[in-house]
Structure 1
């Protein structure tokens, strides 16, 4: 086999594995490409760092189609108001199609210019001839095309995350309701505090996911704005019908008209990174708890799916929580870039804009995969109420000290009750239970009387937790 045929075969294989362009292009390509060096594109790792649905939204093919869509819509809007002839707009409609784009030529041109749109226009002009080249991209600029395409991608990506959040909320709501009275130890600073319920803990994640859906709903109108105002945003090159053309472009793309062009104003993109990043904050907290509760020494829950060890036959590692935590760390790095992309000077600066091309799709890929992990984990989560009860009993009843204190506080005041219980505990002998401490203290024993069993029963000290779970579930279900 000749060297060129070898290169073509390898290139075709890589294209087909990674899906970076369509089959026809893969078969005809004889250009060498760099090996996959990112987990997002790796033929081995890629499915661990992004869902197929999110990958499709930010794929090269979808991005190119959005660039072409912008050019077609721009021409249509300009033709409507007489800025360009309608016949030429129809020619642009025919020529600005994905099938007419040579990916290799586009890549080569992008490498040379540092932007893809100049070459994209050249390829469309080549297909359409002078009828197209005389009016394509009229009054527009590269940033218009790319920014509007990014907005279209973000809008669809946020809607996908919203759907994933709704699915996770349904599962956490089921767990919250089912285990709202299942007693477990609440832990603060790594130590047992007082009783809580497993359902109550699940409800805290559920409500955070609900808040993330609210944030997405609030963000969508702000981020769904087009950019079609030309080189420096003034519409000077479009002429006196510029504002009408701008409104029509956004109308056809189902986007909002910006209050003012946003060439250098990237606050809504920064907000997008922050909102999506916060989802990973919740997933990270959840992952830490699930991982801790899954330890053999704790054993209160177990992931239904697990990862085997290559050398220890007995191990079944909690892969979902592991990956949610790892992906959250990756998200934090990208969330820090939110401020970086706002650092434009004058009307536009290239360097912070370039950072968006990586930060935005990667943040969405990370988050979509993490939510996918959470959905799979919750759907198969194994819960062990008896182990939770056993772990609570490890405190030897001391986790109920507040319950005793509060009972006494009604009679003698909170400060005096606290000091009385605290002093008794300090005098406890090794391995002496809290019950034994009370019974050996004449003052406490007399003050508590026949109420001791009731006060030391964790099920009696859940407070309003079950009712709060019900309230939370009712609230979030309204928004699903």
Structure 2
């Protein structure tokens, strides 16, 4: 991931130093597991642990230099580790030969990858909790901030900004459920050998390593099934889609003609290199853009599910890009959205003015229902209301005044129909759902 959209927490998970350090730990644990069952001498396993190289930049560089010769990254890693153990011991006591004993590259690689995905998911879960907290707070703050609800971009009926945000919070909570499930799905490992039959590594070794890492051993071919990775990518893409839902709405609300909300604008910030008056919705637009990348990565990940026979490596190159990138982007998008919402400026007066700008037409449905309740057929009532509504639009006149002058409309239904409190009287149904969020 390019530095612009990287986060320190995800960089710690996905850096080459972290990756090869994890590879090393899996190898050492496997050696110790073999010692537990008497395959590897206990002194040799201890020597491997005591003389193992430090996972640092020099270690990574040595692997890359060796890979230039082997043209195989895991084989290069094994060579470097074995050489380092021998050098540190000062003598080739035979301990180093047990590194990678009985295992294939994917035993180590897939276990490490799932370990990284689990840790990435834990970071995302912490961030999504923070985002939900921001949303719930904003929703409650603006529970009664009245605004016009829009369908098809056209004035519909009154709602509140808080109700809008509450629905966002509930959707992000569903994303949290999906993410938790994906986390559990990828928190697995395998050390079952070349085609997954445990022909050279007994299940007890796999169980030992899995227990040490907190990963669940699962049946596999040479590789762990890629539907698991696809589920993780879906969770990331779903988070992006939800954040884009919020971002698109906030972009619309920031349009000059609407101006019901506005992103925070810090001292010294410039909205345009050419036009000093500009205060653009840059955070919301960034979120919209990055969500497209998350969705694209999901497609690539799903195409990795179908591999030849017990494995090929067509998925490997894809995953080196999409799994760390999606982890970074989902984290960045949530963090950027959280900052946007925390610093959002809301204009209640502008919301009220926009609601009033459609001549009271937002109460057309209560009028319709009032006419039906007074005895008219629905079609007759609809015709009366629509006729007056179209005149209000076309002539720019007050809708209620037209209804009061219409002989077919009993005036005693209008007070209730045009009562804003009636329109918003059941908002508790939405907000009580926030109380149930874990």
TM-score (norm 1): 0.85
Q: Is the 8 A contact 1:264 1:344 kept in 2?
A: no
Equivalent residue for 1:472, pick from 428, 433, 438:
433
Cα 1:214–1:264 shift into 2, 3 Å: closer
Query: Residues of 2 paired with 1:409 and 1:118: CA distance?
Result: 79
Runs of 5+ unmatched residues, structure 2 = 87-91
Aligned to 1:75: 31
Equivalent residue for 2:382, pick from 405, 418, 429:
418
Question: What are the Cα deviations for residues 240-261 of structure 1, in whole angstroms up to 9, with x where unaligned?
Answer: xx01111111111111121445
Alignment of 1:319-468 (within 5 A): 319-412=282-375, 413-428=377-392, 430-444=395-409, 447-449=410-412, 451-464=413-426, 466-468=427-429
Shift of 1:114: 4.7
Query: Residues of 2 paired with 1:261 and 1:89: CA distance?
Result: 28
Q: Does 1:141 align with 2:104?
A: yes
Query: Residues of 1 paired with 2:71 and 2:300: CA distance?
Result: 21
Aligned to 2:89: none
Query: Residues of 2 paired with 1:49 and 1:84: CA distance?
Result: 45
Question: What are the Cα deviations for residues 350-379 of structure 1, in whole angstroms up to 9, with x where unaligned?
Answer: 112221111100011111111110111111
Equivalent residue for 1:58, pick from 14, 28, 33:
14
Structure 1, 123-132 or 350-359: larger mean CA deviation: 123-132
Shift of 1:178: 1.6
Alignment of 1:41-440 (within 5 A): 41=2, 46=3, 48-99=4-55, 102-129=59-86, 130=92, 131-238=94-201, 242-261=202-221, 263=223, 265-305=225-265, 308=270, 309-412=272-375, 413-428=377-392, 430-440=395-405
Query: Residues of 1 paired with 2:68 and 2:173: CA distance?
Result: 43
Query: Residues of 2 paired with 1:165 and 1:111: CA distance?
Result: 41
Question: What are the Cα deviations for residues 100-156 of structure 1, in whole angstroms up to 9, with x where unaligned?
Answer: 753333123335545421111111111222423321101111111111111111111
Query: Residues of 2 paired with 1:222 and 1:262: CA distance?
Result: 18
Q: Is the 8 A contact 1:305 1:377 kept in 2?
A: no
Question: What are the Cα deviations for residues 324-365 of structure 1, in whole angstroms up to 9, with x where unaligned?
Answer: 111112112112112111120101111122211111000111
Shift of 1:206: 0.3
TM-score (norm 2): 0.92
Where 2:127 maps in the other structure, the secondary structure is helix
After TM superposition, the runs of 4+ consecutive aligned structure 1 residues lying more than 6 A away are none
Shift of 1:70: 0.7
Aligned residues: 426
What is the RMSD of the two structures over their aligned residues, measured on CA atoms?
1.9
Cα 1:262–1:181 shift into 2, 3 Å: farther
Shift of 1:179: 1.2
Query: Residues of 1 paired with 2:24 and 2:357: CA distance?
Result: 65
Q: Is the 8 A contact 2:360 2:399 kept in 1?
A: yes
Q: Is the 8 A contact 1:304 1:377 kept in 2?
A: yes
Cα 1:99–1:255 shift into 2, 3 Å: closer
Query: Residues of 2 paired with 1:215 and 1:289: CA distance?
Result: 23
Runs of 5+ unmatched residues, structure 1 = 1-39
Question: What are the Cα deviations for residues 174-205 of structure 1, in whole angstroms up to 9, with x where unaligned?
Answer: 11112112111111111111111101100111
